[in-house]
Amino acid sequence: MKRSQQSNQPLISTLTTIIFAVPKIAARVNAIAVVSILTLAIPVQALQVGVKPPNPQLGDTLSVMIQPDSNDGSTPTVTVKQKNYQAFPIGNGQWRTLLPTTPLDSPGPMQIQVVSGGEKQNLTVQVRDRSFPTQSIWLPPGKDSEGTDQEFDRVDAFKALVTPQKFWNGKFLRPNEGEITTIYGVRRYYNGVFAKDYYHRGVDYAGAYGSPILAAAAGRVALVGRESQGFLIHGNVIGIDHGQGVETIYLHLSRIDVKEGDFVKAGQVIGALGGTGAATGPHLHWGLYVYGVSVDPVPWRLEGFE
Ligand SMILES: [Zn+2]
């Protein structure tokens, strides 16, 4: 159906037709804020874009749902602050892109541009500010440990993965039974000076030494690093690629049960909690990355992203 042919119909009737024509989208209307450019001066655009959650805060992952006008085979692109994010098909002719936000972003309006076929939509999403706890760290001069280039190169390459397949299904699982000691996003003062680029890029679980570490979701093991190979900050570390730009990383392990290339199931034991690398005591540092950016894992555990 060519939407432009309906442009002389009354607006409400046209919108109703669109909603009836795509019941799968209509079913999502309750859950997501559907944004459509509707003005009387121009024909109704059939490119429909919705963003979830409707009222995000810093650290949240935004899910951008795209229903193109026609299936011309082209991949929609999503652009935020001149950075392009790939969209992936999720069935029924729809596409989805995940966008990260962090404590380092400015709260307020976030401009999202979606281009599909010849159509373009600009959305503005209000991202709420969020108050993150702060810690004060006092280091004797020269005491701050530095990692090796090798470990950061390997970890950076892992975080940059964008695999077209989607391996995860449903909500992410808690990776360890230990108590949470440091939440995502905590900011720091080092020797009294605010570290403007630092935020806690994950969640810390103070589980028992040797307690099982579970894969939070299904995926492919794409990083295994060992303290003995120069992973001085991360310690023994596992990274899982869940596909479509989503990765989880597990630090400071005492034992690693998987190897690179293995496919793991959600809840599978992949190693054991430890205190390797730059850890002051036994704990798991668990990070979740979207397009290489550390986001709050909590919404992935509580609400999930399909
Ligand atoms: Zn941590």
Domain ranges of the chain: 48-127, 134-303
Q: Which residues surround ligand 1, an ion (CB under 5 A)?
A: 204, 285
Q: How far is the CA of 207 from the centre of ligand 1 (A)?
A: 13
pLDDT at residue 142, as a whole number: 61
Greater pLDDT, 158 or 306: 158
**pLDDT band at residue 52, thresholds of 50, 70 and 90?**
very high
Q: Which residues of 180-198 are buried (b: 16+ CB within 10 A; e: fewer)?
A: eebbbbbbbeeeeeeeeeb
- What is the CA(249)–ligand 1 centre distance, in A? 11
- When mean pLDDT is compared across 66-70, 206-210, 238-242, the lowest value belongs to 66-70
Instruction: Kindly state the tokens that stand for 33.
Output: 């804020």
- Kindly report, residue by residue over 189-204, the tens digit of the pLDDT: 989 999 999 999 999 9
275 CA distance to ligand 1 middle (Å) = 11
CATH 3.40.50.720 is the classification of domain 134-303 = no
CATH homologous superfamily of 48-127 equals Macroglobulin (MG2) domain (2.60.40.1930)
Ligand 1 centroid from CA 67, angstroms: 38
Q: 206 alpha carbon to ligand 1 midpoint, in Å? A: 10
3-class SS at 3?
helix
d(CA 173, CA 123): 32
263 C-alpha to ligand 1 centroid (Å): 25
Top pLDDT among 106 and 139 is at: 106
- Ligand 1 centroid to Cα of residue 51, in Å, is 30
Distance in Å, CA 137 to ligand 1 centroid = 14
Torsion, CA 72, CA 24, CA 98, CA 128, rounded to 10: 130
